[in-house]
Amino acid sequence: MGRVQVDRPGASINIDAGQLPSIKGLDGAFNFVTEVIGVPVTRNLIRKATEDKRLKRFKISAHNWYSEADLYEWVLSLRNGDSA
């Protein structure tokens, strides 16, 4: 994922494009996690994580939008066990 440079009068923003809301809705999040990341989760698990605020989302025009970075972070948060 590349970086996005936004120049506005008085401000310049350089952000990783993966942090932007680019995945719309539960179905989009489900497809990304199962097909792109390759983790077998259910739609219900994503829905519940969103409702419980364990999965970050953007609320735009009454729709949930997810970023790739937040979905990767959420999948990694599902890991159990000690790293020692």
What pTM was estimated for this model as a whole?
A: 0.82
| Residue 2 forms part of a structural domain | no
Question: Between vectors from CA 29 to CA 67 and to CA 61, what angle results, nearest 5°?
Answer: 65
| Residue 70 forms part of a structural domain | yes
| Residue 13 forms part of a structural domain | no
| Residue 51 forms part of a structural domain | yes
| Residue 49 forms part of a structural domain | yes
pLDDT, one tens digit per residue, over 16-48 is 888 999 999 999 999 999 999 999 999 999 999
| Residue 6 forms part of a structural domain | no
> Could you give the residue ranges of the DSSP H alpha helices within 18-67?
25-31, 43-51
Average pLDDT over all residues of the chain: 90
pLDDT band at residue 74 under the 50/70/90 scheme = very high
Tell me the residue range of the domain where 35 lies.
19-77
| Residue 68 forms part of a structural domain | yes
Place of tokens 């997810």: 66
| Residue 8 forms part of a structural domain | no
Number of domain units in the chain: 1
- pLDDT above 70 coverage of the chain, percent: 92
